[in-house]
Amino acid sequence: MLQRLRDLDFMPPREAGVSPLVVRDLTVAYHRTPVLRRVNWTAPSSGLIAVCGPNGAGKSTLIKACLGLVRPLAGTVEVFGRPLARQRRLVGYVPQRESVDWEFPVSALDVVAMGRYGLIGWGRRVSKAHRQAAMDALDRVGLADLADRQIGQLSGGQQQRVFLARALAQEAQLYFMDEPLAGVDAATEQAVLDVLRELDAQGRTVICVHHDLQTVADTFDHVLLLNGGVVAEGSPATTLTPDNLRATYGARGQGLMG
Amino acid sequence: MSAQEFIAIDLPALLAALFACLSCALVGNFLVLRRQSLLGDAVSHAVLPGIVAGFLVAGSRETIPMVVGALGAALVAVLLIELVRRVGKVESGAAMGVVFTGLFALGVLMIEQGAARSVDLDADCVLYGQLEDVIWLGPTRFADLADPAVWLTLPREAMQLIVVFAIGLLLVWAFFKELTIASFDPGLADTVGVSSALVQTALVVLTAVVTVAAFEAVGSILVIAMLICPAATARLLTDRLGTQMRLSLLIGGVTGIGGYALGAMLPVWLGAENAVNAAGSIATLGGVILTLAILFAPRYGALARRRRDADLGMEA
């Protein structure tokens, strides 16, 4: 099945030396309240990346700006060396689970197939091959049995895995995931971690908003501490220092590492 | 009732009612799913001054000027809402409420003024529809209907609804995928290159066109009932979007024909002198069917929920 995903992959191999994501002087405001000020960040080209920071630090806003979902006041985002608008197919997205209406009358497979819509194009039907690719992705997260189930009848963890399968079906090179491990059961956590490591092993870049500082070092190779701007970045060992945590989270920052 | 009477009076009105309901049901599915049911209400109010303006300019009930006027009014409404929201610093629901009722009031004033100048457009017709005025003076026997050419003489009200429904069906069929993703997850839609803003705009335009085409048949107020009732009923009966769309068309069709028949016959059976307004009986039937679904739908109905809760209570 993995072989299958690779066979379907039409993306050119990553060009040597081009960062998957370069953010320059990015400033974003909601209703004139600045959320991000002059963020400059070049994502490393390998390893799993976590974006951490307190509530309201602009973590979700950063990935939404990188995805073109919120318009920045200033600054640019480059994906594999080019403006995002020309690289949409290289980018995959796992939004927060609460962002959609789970009562919507679609099945798990329907939702995963939506990951293929960018590859299919406007006004065309979902072909058998695309449907099969969606099924394979669903199988990859262990939900093949529930393909026909209406999404509202899945557990929270299963819903999270459906979103993950949808991202797999996108066959992107750069993934943005908004808290994929928040509030999930053990089986889902394992499935998510497996997929993250597999994507990493395939040379794809995964950037996750992550809230649990205690598990950052177990899962991620690189961490970006954010609070309205970049506070620090680097490997978890060198970045999650008491000083950096205080600078990011305020006085209670030290306590967060337990 | 003779065949000639039926073909001249009831058949064109039935067709207009049927295709008005089908068109509304089609678009209504997406309004209900997007939790924008009130958009239909809002649009149907806001387009009134545009419809009247189109009518006054053209001097007749031609479709094109009224549709142009209605779309212009819808655009003005959207811009005004944005203006009220920003300048007045109020939430968008309040801005909508003010703008739509304001435009509607303007439309009513324009009708009154038009009526004063003895133009053939009255408030009753716009608000409640005028199915009863649709008359087909062509074929006189059922055998005549076999000739395709005779269908081209179908009254404008019925013809335009058939065309609008055909176009709407074609668009929804062709862009079903895009409508679905933009309604379910606008963020993902934007990242895969399906502009959710474009889909939203297209849906508003389609709603406006359907509203304008249907208002003569069921009236600009009751059109909202047909936008919501069939789709909301179908939503309660299935968990599949495709099935929901088909069911809503079936329910819309039954409501249109059944409502018209009820309006024409029920009062007579009950001994009353006159038939009741067909638009009113159609909307009422739509509401009755929705109520039945709310109560008796297999999974989402109130009784089914109650039974499930009771079962859970037994287990616990």
Contact B174 A123 (CB under 8 A): yes
| Cross-strand bridge partners of residue A230 | A226
Residue range B89-101: average pLDDT? Answer: 83
Residue predicted with more confidence, B135 or B229: B229
Which token pair is A200? Answer: 């990493």
- Tally of residues, chain B: 316
Residues of chain A contacting residue B174, judged by C-beta atoms under 8 Å apart: 123
Block mean pLDDT (10 aa), chain A, length 258 = 45 63 92 88 92 91 92 92 85 91 94 92 88 94 94 93 94 93 88 92 93 88 93 91 89 63
Number of cross-chain residue pairs from A and B with Cβ atoms under 8 Å apart: 82
Domains of chain A: 2-257 (3.40.50.300)
Long-range contacts, A124-127 (Cβ 8 Å, 24+): A124/B177, A125/B177, A126/B177
Cα-based torsion angle of the residue sequence B147, B149, B153, B154 in order, rounded to the nearest 10 degrees: 60
Which token pair is A169? Answer: 């079906």
Residues of chain A contacting residue B181, judged by C-beta atoms under 8 Å apart: 114, 117
Residue B192's pLDDT band (boundaries 50, 70, 90)? confident
Residue range B250-273: average pLDDT? Answer: 85
Q: Which of helix, strand or coil describes residue B272?
A: coil
**Measured between alpha carbons, how far is B104 from B83 in angstroms, rounded to an integer?**
18
Query: B198-213, pLDDT tens digit by residue?
Result: 998 888 888 888 888 8
Exposed, middle or buried by CB within 10 Å (0-12, 13-18, 19+), for B47? buried
Residues of chain B contacting residue A99, judged by C-beta atoms under 8 Å apart: 185, 187
**Measured between alpha carbons, how far is A126 from B241 in angstroms, rounded to an integer?**
15
Q: Is A250 left (phi over 0), alpha (psi -120 to 50) or beta?
A: left
CATH code, B297: 1.10.3470.10
> What DSSP state is assigned to residue A181?
T
Domain count, chain B: 1
Query: B43-79, pLDDT tens digit by residue?
Result: 888 888 888 888 888 877 677 787 788 888 888 887 8
Which token pair is A82? Answer: 């080019």
Cα-based torsion angle of the residue sequence A160, A164, A165, A171 in order, rounded to the nearest 10 degrees: 160
Sheet holding A82-83, edge to edge: A33-42, A21-30, A74-79, A82-83
What lies within 8 Å, CB to CB, of B28 at 6+ separation is B37, B40, B226, B227, B228, B229, B230, B231, B232, B248
Shortest Cα distance, chain A CAs vs residue B173, angstroms: 9
Shortest Cα distance, chain B CAs vs residue A78, angstroms: 15
Residue appearing with tokens 């862009």: B175
Taking an 8 Å Cβ-Cβ cutoff, which residues of chain B contact chain A? 33, 35, 174-175, 177-178, 180-181, 183-185, 187-194, 235, 238-241, 243-244
Contact B33 A110 (CB under 8 A): no
Neighbours of B108 (CB within 10 A): 16
Shortest Cα distance, chain A CAs vs residue B191, angstroms: 6
Q: How far is CA A7 from the centre of its chain?
A: 23
Q: Where would I find the beta strands (DSSP E) of B103-180? A: none
Residue appearing with tokens 């290289």: A90
Residue range B270-291: average pLDDT? Answer: 83
Give chain A's radius of gyration (CA, Å). Answer: 18
Residue appearing with tokens 């068109």: B23
What lies within 8 Å, CB to CB, of B191 at 6+ separation is A67, A68, A69, A88, A91, A92, A93, A118
Residue range B86-110: average pLDDT? Answer: 85
Long-range contacts, B119-127 (Cβ 8 Å, 24+): B119/B55, B119/B56, B119/B59, B120/B61, B121/B52, B121/B55, B121/B61, B125/B216, B125/B219, B126/B48, B126/B51, B126/B52, B126/B215, B126/B219, B126/B220, B127/B219, B127/B220, B127/B221
Cβ atoms of residues B117 and B59 within 8 Å: no
Contact A93 B174 (CB under 8 A): no
Q: Which domain holds residue B302?
A: 3-315
| Cross-strand bridge partners of residue A150 | A107
Q: HSE-up of B198 (CA within 13 Å, CB side)?
A: 9
Residue range B132-151: average pLDDT? Answer: 81
Query: A206-257, pLDDT tens digit by residue?
Result: 999 998 888 888 899 999 999 999 999 999 999 998 889 998 988 766 566 6
Phi and psi, residue B234, nearest 5°: -60, -35
**Measured between alpha carbons, how far is B282 from B210 in angstroms, rounded to an integer?**
17
